Chains A and B, each alone.
Chain A
C-alpha cells in the first residue's frame, strides 16, 4: 500500500528507501504516455525513433524515472495521434512541471522527498479535496498557527529552522492567489475548530482567517459538526488531488509521521472519494459553515 504505482510497478518509496528521482508527477505523466502509446498501437522502438532516442529512454520516461523534455512529449503526443488542444496542453504543462526547478528546492534541507513529491502534485492539481480531523488545512493556516504546529512537531528544532518551515508553509499558500488557482474543497471536523492551537488569541485569529478564506471564489469549506455523530472517515485526514487531464487518475495523499502514502489505483482512490463525497453531503453547507465558524470564534 505504501506505493505509488500507476501500473503496479515501480513502488514509490518513503524515507527509509534510497532517494528517488521519480516524482509522482513523472510517474503519472509516464503512465499516461504509455497508455496513449499502446492505444495508438505504437511500439517503444517506433516511439524512440520519433524522438531520436533509444527504446530504453522511452521505457525510462514511461516509468517516470527521468524528467521530460517538453519537446519530446510534444513529439510523442503527435505520434500517438493526440491532437486535442486541451489534452495536449494539460500533458505538456505536466511535462514542464516535472522538469522545472521547483520553488521549494531551496527548502530541500528541511523537506523529505515524500513531501517534495506532494508539493509537485499540489501545484499541478486543478482540484484539491480534503478531509481534516486535526488541523486547519495547511493552505489555510495563519503564520502564527503554522508556527504553533511546527513547534509541536519539531520541539528540538532551532529557531531559524522553525522559521524556515513556517516560511515554506506561507510560501505554499501563494497557490491560492496565482492565476488558474486550483479549486479547494475542504471538509473539516468540528474538532479542528475547537482545538486551541498556540493559545486562544492564535486560534481566534486563525478562525477569522478561515472565514476570510471561505469567501475566496475557488474555496469551499464545510464543517462536520459533532452533532452529526460518527462519520465514514474514522481513519483520519487525507487529501484527494485531481488533475485536468481526463485520463490522469486522482491521487490520494495520506501523511504519516515519517512518510506519506500515495494511492492512485482506482479502487483505492474511490474508497476515499466515497468518504469525502458522503461527508460533503452530510456536512454543513458552506454558508452555514461560515456562520458556525463565527460562532466558534466568539466562544474561543
Chain B
C-alpha cells in the first residue's frame, strides 16, 4: 500500500497546528539549503541570505553537503545494520537526491516513512518529488516539531509505536530556541517510542565556529523565517540523555562512519545516532 496523504494537523481550535505562511520575500532555511545544495527551488531572498551567510561562514556549503551525506549514511546504517523499518523524519525540507525513504527502501523495500514539516509548500515538494516504493509506505504531516502531540497522533496512522522507530531530526533543532525547550521536545518524542528505537540528530555547533562568525550568522538569521541557534557539544549531547550512542559517538557530521570518496572538508555541525535502552 502506498499512502501519500498529507494530514494537516488541527481541526479543533485547541489543537490548531502551527504552519508556516507562504512568503518568498523572507529567507527560508529549507530554500537556502536547496540553493546551497544546487537546487532551483529558491527565491531571491533565499539566495541573498545564503550568499550573505556563505560570506561570513564559507564552510557552510560543505556543512550542508556533509549534513546531507550524513543523512544517507545514518539511514543506511539504521535500515541495514540495525534493521529499523519505521522512520519519523522531522524537518524534511525540500527533497534532493537520496531522501530518507529512498535510502531506507533501497535497503528494505517495506520500510515506512513519515515526513513532517511545518511548511505546507515544502511538504508539497517532498510529496511531488517522492515516489514511494510500492511495498513500503510514505506519509506526510504538516506540523511544527514543537507540536509533538499532533505529530505522534498522526504518525500513528502509518507507524506502529510498539515496534522500534528511528526519529531523525537533521539540521532542524537549531531552529528551535531554548525558550521552546528543544530538549523536552526530543524527550517527549523518544518517550513515545519503544526500547530499541533510535534518534539521529545533526545540529550546528556553536563551538565549531569562531565567535565573529556566530555573531555574523545571527545577523543573517534575524532576517530569516527561522532564527538559528547553534549549540555546543554538551548541549547537543543532552539530546541523547539516557540513550546509548552508536559508534563513533558524537562527532562532526563528516566524521560519522565516513565512507571512502566522501567529500573532504571540515563542517560546523555535530551529529550522533543513539539507541533507546
Listed in ascending order, the chain A residues whose CB lies under 8 Å from chain B are 183, 185, 217-218, 220, 222, 242, 246, 250, 266-267, 270, 273-274, 277-278, 280-283, 285-288
Contacts and interface: CB of A to CB of B under 8 A. Distances in A.
A281 B121 CA distance: 4
B87 interface: no
Given A270-B44, A281-B120, A286 B128 contact: yes
B131 A281 contact: no
A220 B127 contact: yes
Contact of B4 (A250, A281, A286): A286
Contact of B121 (A270, A280, A285): A280
B161 interface: no
Interface in B37-52: 38, 40-41, 43-44
Nearest to B122: A281
Interface in B117-154: 119-121, 123-125, 127-129, 131, 140
A278 B127 contact: no
B22 A278 contact: yes
24 contacts: A183-B128, A185-B128, A218-B131, A220-B127, A220-B128, A242-B40, A246-B38, A250-B40, A266-B44, A270-B24, A270-B44, A274-B43, A277-B24, A278-B22, A280-B128, A281-B22, A281-B121, A283-B124, A285-B5, A285-B6, A286-B127, A286-B128, A287-B3, A287-B4
Given A220-B127, A286-B4, 20 more contacts: A183-B128, A183-B129, A218-B131, A242-B40, A246-B38, A250-B40, A273-B41, A274-B43, A277-B22, A277-B121, A278-B22, A280-B124, A280-B128, A281-B22, A283-B124, A285-B5, A285-B127, A286-B128, A287-B4, A287-B5
A280 B125 CA distance: 8
Central interface residue in B4, B44, B119, B128, by most chain A CB within 10 Å: B128
Interface of B: 3-6, 22, 24, 38, 40-41, 43-44, 119-121, 123-125, 127-129, 131, 140
B131 to A, nearest CB: 4
Nearest to A288: B5
A281 B122 CA distance: 8
Nearest to A269: B40
Contacts of A242: 40
B131 A278 contact: no
B203 to A, nearest CB: 27
Contacts of A217: 131
Central interface residue in A183, A277, A278, A283, by most chain B CB within 10 Å: A277
A273 to B, nearest CB: 8
Nearest to A248: B40
